Amino acid sequence: MSAAPTTDPGTHEPPDYLQVQSSEEFDELRRAHRSFAFPLTVAFILWYLVYVLLSSYAGGFMATKVIGHLNVAFVLGLAQFVTTFLIAWWYSRHAAAKLDPKAEAIKSRLEGDA
């Protein structure tokens, strides 16, 4: 049987989130995220739209056989899935290397002040 959680909220003040949000280190974290996520998102959406437009307006090109019964449309469709997984893998590496250490520093400072 586990013990009941304590109801004592403690004597510490809650962190000043507005101050954290306006800090330089939070700006760096936000900038590091945006500089990676936004361009990659735009690039992927454009890549997807090119695929959709080719499928809609370039039927002859998309029906071109590549290998056996596999055509360009099938290859590009599979490339969409591959691209999605590559972006997810790349983002997880970016987050682990650039975002997580900055976020952890902010969290430690907040918990240390609390």
Mean pLDDT by 10 residues, the chain (114 residues): 59 77 93 96 97 97 96 97 97 96 91 70
User: Residue 36 and residue 25: Cα distance in Å, rounded?
Assistant: 17
The owner of tokens 């962190």 is: 15
What is the reported pLDDT for 19? 87
What is the reported pLDDT for 14? 74
**If you compute the radius of gyration of the chain from its CA atoms, what whole number of angstroms results?**
24
The owner of tokens 């304590």 is: 6
Q: Are strands 65-67 and 70-71 parallel, antiparallel or unpaired?
A: antiparallel
What is the reported pLDDT for 20? 85
What is the reported pLDDT for 1? 55
What is the reported pLDDT for 114? 56
